[in-house]
Amino acid sequence: MFDRIDHIGIAVDDLEGQIAHYRDVLGLPLVHRETVESQGVEAVLFDVGENHVELIAPLGPDTGVAKFLAKNGPGLHHVAYQTTDIVAALATLKERGVQLIDEEPRVGIRDSRVAFLHPKSTGKVLTELTQPAHH
């Protein structure tokens, strides 16, 4: 069902400061930056080999990430698994009793299709499925 970890998502309240950390201290190439309205975030991707680190900063106080930051502070937010058939993966997981946040995929960063699983049914780890646009 899954090919690999696509990225880990990290919630930040100081986007420019954390960009400097990942780019200049860890030395990771910044490969993409995008406002993702469907998720209420400004998102920045760094390459780590075939995988990514995704920094996400809230676009406004009513967004899920703003609420996460208010509750938990900055830090690890979600893990994203890559799939070549997100619709089939969602159907399989639902059949297996996993609670879905998104019944249908929505448009994510770089025109990917994404869907989130509820942390209640994943051991409190917010889990994203992602199908890159080129699949």
**Closest separation in Å from C-beta 87 to Co ion:** 18
Across the beta sheet with 75-82, what order do the strands follow? Answer: 30-36, 41-48, 51-58, 4-11, 75-82, 127-131, 113-117, 106-107
The footprint of Co ion on residues 69-88 (CB under 5 A) is 80
Question: Comparing C-alpha atoms, which of 37, 124, 127 is closest to residue 79?
Answer: 127
**Closest separation in Å from C-beta 54 to Co ion:** 5
Residue 9 binds to Co ion (criterion: CB under 5 A): yes
Residue 55 binds to Co ion (criterion: CB under 5 A): no
Residue 57 binds to Co ion (criterion: CB under 5 A): no
Binding positions for Co ion, rule: CB under 5 A = 9, 54, 80, 128
